[in-house]
């Protein structure tokens, strides 16, 4: 399906070049066809609201009015076939605002994943200096970027905290946001992350968004944070020191993470699919620029919470 989708999209671009430059009727036809393709994908999506038990049974969601849940199967399709990411294990679904979708220039989407890394002790939560942690993350960038560029990925720079880390010790929820810039990109990326701590691991919710949409995410974040919970027997308080594993990660370690060299699943590649037809009306030169940008775009890296 992805090959077919890319072929059709590429055909739209090529048709624009083959039809006369400045032929407004032809450009309008291409624009309409692109919109029809996006509409057909969106109409195939089936969303849910209300009480939802996630596939692995460890956690559940309560999705209120104003939001919608896309199940694991459809979310994997969106992430791999529509947005062009490599297949990821453990994807449990996605949450969109009511007016958002995988094929609209909506404000954000949260990708849900469970990571069975063990019981994360939180004794260090009140002792972490996040300004110092930011400096350490930035210090480690140079070496990581050398390897990233050698592998063909753009260098990344953490500009700062878009929202400083906060740990709700009562509800065992950690969340923070990074302002990230990619080499060669004009617009910065918002990396908003939520971790719900459980008995045997963490439920991760990672936002797909750009920095221009941070106000939308911040406006809705309290509602987002209230949606997930662990099922009976899997909560943080259910931890049994005699039988359960303790994670090598602490609260500070979850925030710092480890940058993988492979591409990750909260890519903004999909945004270029949405906006592709917008470049058409700018002329042939802009179209070829859009093609190069679309097919050359690298997704955001994910953070490795595996124990090594």
Using alpha carbons, list the distances in angstroms from residue 296 to 71, 128, 154, 184.
29, 38, 10, 11
Residues 301/156, Cβ–Cβ less than 8 Å:
yes
pLDDT tens, residue by residue, 80-102: 877 767 777 889 999 999 988 88
Q: Is the pLDDT reported for residue 107 higher than 50?
A: yes
CA distance 92 to 73: 8
Q: Where does residue 40 rank: exposed (0-12), middle (13-18), buried (19+ CB within 10 A)?
A: exposed
Total-model pTM = 0.75
* Mean pLDDT, the chain, whole residue set: 77
Q: Is the pLDDT reported for residue 212 higher than 50?
A: yes
Residues 12/28, Cβ–Cβ less than 8 Å:
no
Strand ranges in 150-201 using DSSP code E only, listed in sequence order: 156-168, 173-182, 189-197
CA distance 287 to 276: 9
Position 26 confidence tier, pLDDT thresholds 50, 70, 90: low
Please report the pLDDT score of residue 283 as a whole number.
34
Please report the pLDDT score of residue 14 as a whole number.
55
C-alpha 285: how far from chain center = 30
Please report the pLDDT score of residue 146 as a whole number.
87
Q: Does domain 47-303 have CATH number 1.10.3720.10?
A: no
Beta strands 59-63 and 50-53, pairing class: antiparallel
Residues 245/200, Cβ–Cβ less than 8 Å:
yes
Q: Which residue has the higher pLDDT, 72 or 150?
A: 72
Average pLDDT over residues 20-37: 62
Alpha helices in the chain, H assignment, sequence order = 2-18, 24-44, 72-77, 130-139, 141-150, 214-226, 251-256, 269-280, 284-296
pLDDT tens, residue by residue, 251-306: 988 998 753 333 333 333 333 333 333 333 333 334 334 434 444 434 444 554 44
Q: Is the pLDDT reported for residue 76 higher than 80?
A: yes
Average pLDDT over residues 7-13: 51
């Amino acid at each position: 399906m992805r090959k077919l989708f890319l072929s059709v999209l590429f055909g739209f671009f090529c048709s624009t070049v083959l039809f006369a430059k400045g032929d407004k009727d032809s450009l309008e036809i291409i624009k309409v066809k692109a919109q029809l393709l996006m509409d057909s994908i969106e109409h195939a999506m089936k969303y849910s609201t209300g009480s939802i038990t996630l596939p692995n049974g460890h956690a559940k969601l309560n999705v209120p009015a104003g939001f919608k849940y896309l199940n694991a199967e459809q979310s994997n399709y969106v992430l791999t076939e529509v947005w062009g990411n490599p297949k990821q294990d453990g994807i449990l679904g996605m949450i969109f605002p009511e007016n958002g979708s995988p094929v609209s220039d909506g404000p954000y989407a949260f990708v849900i994943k469970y990571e069975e890394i063990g019981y994360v002790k939180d004794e260090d939560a009140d002792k972490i200096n996040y300004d110092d942690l930011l400096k350490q993350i930035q210090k480690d960038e140079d070496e990581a970027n050398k390897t990233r560029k050698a592998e063909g990925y753009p260098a990344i720079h953490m500009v700062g905290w878009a929202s400083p880390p906060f740990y709700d010790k009562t509800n065992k929820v950690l969340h923070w946001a990074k302002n990230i810039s990619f080499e060669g990109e004009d617009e910065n990326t918002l990396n908003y992350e939520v971790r719900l701590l459980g008995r045997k691991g963490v439920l991760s919710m990672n936002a797909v968004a750009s920095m221009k949409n941070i106000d939308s995410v911040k406006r809705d974040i309290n509602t987002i944070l209230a949606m997930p919970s662990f099922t009976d027997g899997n909560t943080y308080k259910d931890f049994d020191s005699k039988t359960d594993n303790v994670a090598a990660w602490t609260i500070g370690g979850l925030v710092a993470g480890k940058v993988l060299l492979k591409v990750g699943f909260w890519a903004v590649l999909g945004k270029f699919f949405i906006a592709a037809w917008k470049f058409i009306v700018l002329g042939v030169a802009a179209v070829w620029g859009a093609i190069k940008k679309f097919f050359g775009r690298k997704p955001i890296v994910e953070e490795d919470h595996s124990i090594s």
